Amino acid sequence: MKRTASIFIPLALLLLTALPAAADDKPVIVPMDGKAVTESHQGIGKINSVDVKAGKINLSHGPIASLGWMGMTMDFDVQDKVLLANLKKGQKVAFTLIEVRKGKYVISEITVVK
Ligand SMILES: [Cu+2]
């Protein structure tokens, strides 16, 4: 009796956990249109100015192939002003851009490189 029960309890638990999991599979599927995935782009640049209050940084950046951008000097908004806390004019940086709305790219990550 004891032996039988010890086999059936794990089996019953397996069934109980497996069934709801199978039912939940559908909503978890990642849509194929890619909207659930945030595409990001990598760039390298040199800092011309930093405005922590405004959350802006001016960079002279190299080409960003994944966006079809040539190298240029421009202002970027940052996703979080905290990203600018320790950055200074003249530093070389590696940064990541994400598209927050159509055609609007902001810096989501930025680190000083040597
Ligand atoms: Cu640019």
The pTM of this model reads 0.68
Quick check: helix, strand or coil at residue 35?
Answer: coil
pLDDT along the chain (114 residues), means of 10: 58 51 47 64 98 97 97 98 97 97 96 96
Q: Among 52, 49, 55, which Cα is nearest to 93's?
A: 49
Which residue bears the tokens 């249109």?
A: 33
pLDDT at site 54: 96
Q: Among 62, 23, 64, which Cα is nearest to 41's?
A: 64
How remote is the CA of residue 97 from the centroid of ligand 1, in Å?
A: 11
Contact assessment for residue 75 and residue 51, using Cβ atoms and an 8 Å cutoff: no
Centroid of chain to Cα 54: 22
How remote is the CA of residue 72 from the centroid of ligand 1, in Å?
A: 5
Return the DSSP state at 16. Answer: H
How remote is the CA of residue 61 from the centroid of ligand 1, in Å?
A: 6
pLDDT at site 47: 98
pLDDT at site 38: 73
- Domains of the chain in start order, with CATH, are 40-113 (2.40.50.320)
